[in-house]
Structure 1
Amino acid sequence: MKQNKKVRSGNEIIVLFDGQQVGMCRSVRGSDDYGPDAASGIGDIHVAEWVPTQARHSLSVSNMVLIKSNMMALGLTPENGDAVLQGLVFDLEMYAKADGQLLRKYLGVSYASGDIDIQAHQIVVASGQFMALDVTGKGA
């Protein structure tokens, strides 16, 4: 018997704040946009190359469960816009379940918008949009 190495299944997506797990996600879709701008010479309308101008890493998340007790212990329960202005950010890491390999890591993630459902003992982000400062890992 041999292990299938062409397809990954059972991946794990965890939410970390200061290296401590505060939640997990069911689904994350990452989008990377490097804002390419056309570079051309004077008197030449043809683009010589596309120059990256700004990296924008956005995430669409569905079914993110945040562990309320872990967040409260770390002081991470923003009440309103004033609390959000504190600028608290977290990391989102995606691991292969089979071997624990880090597939992708989004750094300095901030909540942008979404729907939140608060239930007993947990906070569920049913759908959310996030922005990250940087990303590492090839996801393979």
Structure 2
Amino acid sequence: MRQNLQTRSGNRIAVVFDGKQIGLVQSVRANDDYSPEAASGIGDIHAQEYVPTMARHSLSVSAMLLNRGAMLQAGIVMENGEAVLQGLVFDLEVYSKDDGQLLRKYIGCSYASGDLEVNKHAIIMQSAQFYALDVTGQGA
């Protein structure tokens, strides 16, 4: 008998602030854009290569559950624009459910926009847009 693990399913997506997990994400769609610009020589209209000019990592999240107690304990309270100006960022980590391996990590995520629902004991973002400073991992 052998184990056939050619695909991954049931991955876990954790929201991590200062090394501590403060929430989970139901679904994330990530976009990595390196804004390539054409480089050509004088008198030549053909691009010789496309040079990356700016890395932009954007994340679209659905159903993110944030643990209110863990957020308060970590000193995170994003109640308004002035609170957001504190510059608090978090990491979004994607783990394999099969073996717990870290597949992809989005570093330094900042909240851009979204829909928020507040219930007892929990804060649920139904949809949100974040921007990350960097990304690591191959995600496979």
TM-score by length of 1: 0.98
Alpha-carbon shift at residue 27 of structure 1 (Å): 0.3
Number of aligned residue pairs = 140
User: Which secondary structure state, in structure 1, belongs to the residue aligned with residue 87 of structure 2?
Assistant: coil
Matches within 5 A, 1:1-140: 1-140=1-140
Distance 2:91 2:18 in 1: 8
Runs of 4+ in 1 over 2 A off after TM superposition: 1-4
Aligned counterparts of 1:10 and 1:122: Cα–Cα separation in 2 = 23
Which SS does the other structure have where 2:83 is aligned? helix
Cα RMSD of the aligned pairs, angstroms, is 0.7
In structure 1, the gaps of 5 or more residues are: none
* Partner-residue secondary structure (3-state), 1:73: helix
2:18 partner letter: D
Aligned-partner Cα distance in 2 for 1:65–1:105? 18
Shift in Å, 1:4: 2.6
Shift, 1:3, TM fit: 2.6
Q: Alignment identity in percent?
A: 64
Query: What one-letter code is carried by the residue in structure 2 that aligns with 1:59?
Result: L
Q: Aligned-pair distance for 1:98?
A: 1.0
How far apart are the structure 2 equivalents of 1:58 and 1:70?
25
